[in-house]
Amino acid sequence: MKLFLSQLLLCLVLSTTMFAQTAPVKYDVIQKTNGEEMKGKVMEMNDTEVKFTYAGETLLYTIKKSDIQKITFGSGRVEVINAPTSTPATDPTTPALPATPNVDPRNRVAILPFTVIHDGQDAPQDVSFQIQSEAYHFLNKHAGVYTLVDPRTVNVALNKAGITKATFMNYSMDEIANALGVEYVVIGTVSVNRTSATTYGSSTYNDKENKDKNKKSGSESTYATSTQNYSSKTEISIYNNKGQTISNQNRNSMLNTQDAYHSTLEYLLKRCPLYTK
């Protein structure tokens, strides 16, 4: 009987030991704000930092609490360090686009205000509107089957949609086309830069006879004028309401005057697919 009890006790001890050896180790898990997970053991925590060792390692790491979203301890307790930021319903820098205008967009064309850069600096907005209007009036005379939306209507629709110079890059071209209710969108850039200055000079000499004809006196006049030279480049791109590029042209002006881009603009518009002779 004593032998039986001894054997039973030994079996219980062995079973308990085996269970302890095979029981899975529960680690602490740190979830960082960037999505990274760290599995191991939290050794110490204070107001600003957490000291941590990875599973199977002894090296101690220090992690800023500002980089930790939550810690799930091996006991099952969860401590939230930084709650995840909820995504706002609307991004204030990217207002929701209004519903597409109730018009048939086929063959409708909108020319956007041009980007104008003068000596590396953005030109005033009225210059952008001026070139937009110039392009509209020129192309509208040769529109053929296309209907060009007047610049005033285009600019009002852009403002209502929240599409400004500052937010323009937040929108795809198909979104802009759909907001304007057009099939084609024309955008352009004009760059004007000072180059060299050319100076022209001339001089004249006027003789004036004295009573003594062997002696002469006179006056000399010198005139000089300086002309500032410029280089300019014009680019025009056309997109459809699927966001596809259907035309992309650029050209340097042949003349070196400040307003040489006017003729370059007409040159490019004559060669775009929306131009009809």
Same domain, 119 and 198: yes
pTM over 0.75: no
Which structure tokens are listed for 90? 């609307």
Segments of the chain assigned E as strands: 28-32, 37-45, 49-54, 61-64, 68-72, 78-80, 108-111, 115-118, 121-122, 147-149, 184-209, 216-240, 245-252
- Which one has a higher pLDDT value, 19 or 147? 147
Residues with Cβ within 8 Å of 276's Cβ and at least 6 positions away in sequence, in order, are: 142, 143, 144, 145, 146
In the block, residue with structure tokens 């459809």:
240
Q: pLDDT digits over 61-82, tens only? A: 899 998 899 999 988 898 898 8
> What CATH number corresponds to the domain at position 171?
3.40.50.10610
Residue 262 pLDDT > 90: yes
Same domain, 169 and 112: yes
Same domain, 242 and 144: yes
What's at 61, amino acid-wise? Y
Specify if 139 maps to a domain.
Answer: yes
Residue 215 pLDDT > 80: no
pLDDT band at 208 (very low <50, low <70, confident <90, very high): low
How many domains is the chain built from? Answer: 2
Same domain, 263 and 139: yes
pLDDT band at 5 (very low <50, low <70, confident <90, very high): low
Q: Which domain holds residue 233?
A: 108-202+222-270
Beta bridge partners of 218: 207
Residues with Cβ within 8 Å of 274's Cβ and at least 6 positions away in sequence, in order, are: 109, 139, 143, 146, 184, 186, 238
**Residue 192 and residue 119 in contact, taking contact as beta carbons nearer than 8 Å:** yes
Q: pLDDT digits over 93-152, tens only? A: 555 555 556 789 999 999 999 999 999 999 999 999 999 999 999 999 999 999 999 999
What dihedral do alpha carbons 177, 178, 179, 183 form, nearest 10°? Answer: 40
Same domain, 148 and 244: yes
Q: What is the chain's mean pLDDT, rounded?
A: 84
> Roughly what angle, to the nearest 10 degrees, separates helices 173-180 and 151-160?
110
- Which one has a higher pLDDT value, 256 or 134? 134
Q: How far apart are CA 244 and CA 241, in angstroms?
A: 7
Task: Count the residues in the chain.
Answer: 277
Which structure tokens are listed for 163? 């599409």
Specify if 123 maps to a domain.
Answer: yes
Q: What is the CA radius of gyration of the chain?
A: 39
- Which one has a higher pLDDT value, 18 or 189? 189
Q: Which of 88-92, 131-135, 195-199, 243-247 has the lowest mean pLDDT?
A: 88-92
Q: Please name the helix (run of DSSP H) or strand (run of DSSP E) that holds residue 159, with its range, or none.
A: helix 151-160
Same domain, 72 and 119: no
pLDDT of residue 19: 47
